[in-house]
Each structure stands twice: as structure tokens, then as C-alpha cells.
Amino acid sequence: MIPREPLIITGGKLLTGSGAPSAGSIRCEGDRIVAAGEVEAQPGDRTHDARGKIVMPGIIDLGVFEIDKPAFHFGGITRAALMPDQNPPLDYPARVRFAASYGKPDLWVHPIAAATRGLAGSELPELGLMQEAGARAVSSGRQWLGDSGIMLRMMQYAAMLGLPVISHAEDAGLTGGAVATAGEMATRLGLPSAPAEAESLAIMRDIALAEMAGAHLHIRQVTTAAGLDLVRAAKARGVRLTCGVTPAYFMLSDIATAGFLTFTRLSPPLRSEADRLAVRIALADGTIDTIASGHDPRGPEDKRLPFVDAAPGMAGAETLLPLTLSLVRDGVIDMARMCELLCVNPARILGVEAGRLEAGLEADIAVIDPDRPWIVDSDRMEAQAGNTPFDKQPVQGRAIALFKGGQKIEG
């Protein structure tokens, strides 16, 4: 998708990924950025006036479960890392290759290879061939890989290839059929629950194995204070470790499940208020590296069930930007840190030439209005299903223009 004429975006505040927003323009030729800052338009350039709004890199969503282009484009997302939990799983090169081509030209999908055949936890797949087919990381998906021997061998294989390992941090031996975090709310509702320590136990094991293997471990979601303390300690001693979170865990606590609302049935389950506050602190101090949507649209057949039987997951692509911007308005993070969490760090983890507004990188650009108000409505979302715990909530912030490889995405 290479446009015929160069593009210049003027009149905006550039959030380049290297500091606070500042006035400037950005010029692109072909699918690449050629200059950012004090840039003048050239004869024949296509011009887009940002009208004083924020011009930032397109969001890179690290860990989605469904390719949902209308929702991604609404949310300012130009790249999505697709988890291996597909039907069939991403455990063969041909499946990875197909997934990598699926969204082009206006969305780039970065497949995450399955850690084991069929995600069954017993046999390693051909990670090298899947990397050649386009895989950018390897993961056990929604499940914890319980066999430590298999996990270690997979990490050693991934380390040899330079692939990050994305883990799901819940010890399945403790979680079993739990749908809630043990505590007062789970007791009141009579829901099967598991201790929050299921997360920290899984994190301890995976960190130890990653150190043994010399692998880059990315924990997709860290949602408890104890888990975050383990991440801090490991980073301090030099472990190759990154971690992420989705907005539900800095916006909601287990109190949100009070009415048995299945839109709040998530994996991992919502945590205590103390854990929610710990996540916000970790976002501010740099412990958490990425915020992702965890986009997992689920229809009525999965959600209009008793809480225990409902499938976990939420449609998160459309609310990723405004909910992250709420952290800026609350003074938890600044705009530069927001760009790191949504763009810079995901690009670094996946090893893609994007995530910043710099000469030579791909021209994936979002123009956002951080103050535009709108109301989340599960019945009117662009996603394939509107299973959001933020239904009817007023939010602020929207992408008002989006460019992939220098070409404007209409929608």
C-alpha cells in the first residue's frame, strides 16, 4: 500500500515517542517517514491538517485474540499481535503465514506462534519455520504451560531464535475451575475462586526458567501487587523481562462483578482494590511496559450465561486509547509515557520498524483528539461483539485520522 504522492501532516502536536508533545509536522514518502519536526511541504505533497491535535504513532496492540479491523481502526490501532489461540491454533508455518497476511494492506498482523502443538502442552512445534513465516513471538496463549520441562525447552529454543516468550501467569493447579479471585466479593457471590497468589507463583517459576534459558520473557498481564513486586525484583537483577496489562485491571476491581455481570468475567479474574491501585503505581514507575486491549469479542452465546459458565474476555480495541488517556488525566502518567506503553515498547518487544515518529520508520500514524467525549455503547460498537465491562461509560479521546504506511485509512 504505497501512495503515489508524499504525505505531510501539519498543524499538530507531535508525540514522537521521545518526549512530550511539541508543535511540528511530519513528512512521509512511500510507506516511510522521511522527516519530523520543522518540516516544510514540498510541491505535489498531499497535506493533512491535524488542527492542533496530537499526532502519534499508530498503536501496536500486543496480544489480541481476534482480527477485528473496524474496531482496531476506530481505536487508532495499525498493528496487532495475534495470540495463537485460533481455530486451528497457530502451530504450523502455513497458519502463521496466512495470519500474517490477513489484515493487509491497512492493518499489519504479527502472529504469535503456539508454544506447543495444538496448545496441548506436550510437543514443541517448529518454531524456526514459524518465525520464517512471520511469527514475532511464541506463547502458550490463554493457558499456563504447566510442564516446566517443556517450558524450559521451549524457552531455550525461543532464545536461540531471538523470539520473545509471552506467558500467561496463572498456576493452573491453583486456579482449576475458578472464575473469581478469592476474597470477600467471591465469598458473597458464592463464586468458585482461586487465591491471587496463583499469579505470583506462576511468575516466579517463569522468571526462573527464563533466567536458565536466557530468554526474553514477556508476561502478558500482571495484575497483582505481589506479582508486580516479583517483576521489579527480577528487572533489578537484570533479567530480560517485560510485562503488560489491559485497562480493566487499572480501571476495575472485583467489586465490578457484584451483579454477576458476565462482561466482567475476565481472565485472569478481576482483583482486589489494593491490586488495582498497585497496577496504577506500576504503570507510573515503569514496572509495566505495555498496555494492550486483550481484544476478545464474545457474542451472546458465550456471555448470556450464568457467570460461572460464561466465557472470559472483553472487546477492548475501541476503548484502549480513551481508558489509557484517563491515566493521563488522572496524573498517573504523562503523554510521553502513554506513547511508550501503547507504541514504543510493543514495537521493541516485537522487533518491528514502527512505534515512533522517526525518519526511516514505517509511516503508521494516528491523529487523536484526547479530549473528544463519547459514550461506550455495547450495542453500537465496531467490534464483532460488544462485550465490554465499560458499557454506557463516558470516556474521552478518539483517533480522528489514521494512516497505515502513509496511506489514509477511510472509515
Cell (9 digits) for 266: 475476565
What integer pLDDT is reported at residue 40 of this predicted model? Answer: 87
**402 part of a folded domain:** no
CATH code of 116's domain: 3.20.20.140
Tell me, what's the pLDDT at 410?
A: 83
Helix 148-161 vs helix 197-213: crossing angle, to nearest 10 = 50
Q: Which has more pLDDT, 38 or 110?
A: 110
* Number of domains observed in the structure of the chain: 1
CA-CA distance, 299 to 311, in Å (whole number)? 10
User: Tell me, what's the pLDDT at 2?
Assistant: 52
Provide mean pLDDT across the span 83-106.
95
**Quick one: pLDDT at residue 172?**
93
Give the residue-averaged pLDDT of 174-187: 94
Please identify which residue in the block is written with the cell numbers 501512495: 3
Burial 198-230 (b: 16+ CB within 10 A, else e): bbbbbbbbbbebbbebebbbbbbbbbbbbbbbb
**pLDDT score, position 39:** 87
Contact between 341 and 49 under an 8 Å Cβ cutoff? The reply is no
pLDDT in tens, 318-327: 999 999 999 9
Crossing angle between the packed helical segments 225-236 and 273-285, to the nearest 10 degrees: 30
pLDDT (tens digit per residue) in 194-240 = 999 999 999 999 999 999 999 999 999 999 999 999 999 999 999 99
DSSP labels for 155-199? HHHHHHHT--EEE----HHHHTT--EESSHHHHHHT--EE-THHH
User: Does residue 210 form part of some domain?
Assistant: yes
Whether 19 maps to a domain, the answer reads no
The mean pLDDT of 22-37, rounded to a whole number, is 94
pLDDT over 70 percentage in the chain? 99
Q: Which of 39-43, 128-132, 146-150, 263-267 has the lowest mean pLDDT?
A: 39-43
Does any domain span residue 112?
Answer: yes
Is 176 contained in some domain?
Answer: yes
Q: Integer distance in angstroms from the first to the last C-alpha of the chain?
A: 16
Residue 5 in any domain: the answer is no
- For residue 85, give every residue at least 6 positions away whose Cβ sits within 8 Å of its Cβ, in sequence order, or none: 65, 119, 141, 142
What 3-state DSSP class applies to 37?
strand
Angle at 354 between CA 370 and CA 23, to 5 degrees: 45
Phi–psi pair at 40, nearest 5 degrees: -105, 145
Question: Which set of grid coordinates corresponds to residue 143?
Answer: 493457558
Instruction: Indicate whether 50 belongs to any domain.
Output: no
Say yes or no to pLDDT of 35 above 90. yes
The parent domain of residue 258 ranges over: 57-353+372-396
Look at residue 129 in the predicted model and tell me its pLDDT. Answer: 98
Query: What is the per-residue pLDDT for 3?
Result: 52
Q: Region 37-66: what's the mean pLDDT?
A: 94
Is 360 among the domain residues?
no
Question: CB–CB of 397/356 below 8 Å?
Answer: no
Query: What average pLDDT does range 34-62 have in this prediction?
Result: 93
**pLDDT exceeds 60 at position 32:** yes
Evaluate the CA torsion angle 316, 318, 322, 325 in order and state its sign: positive
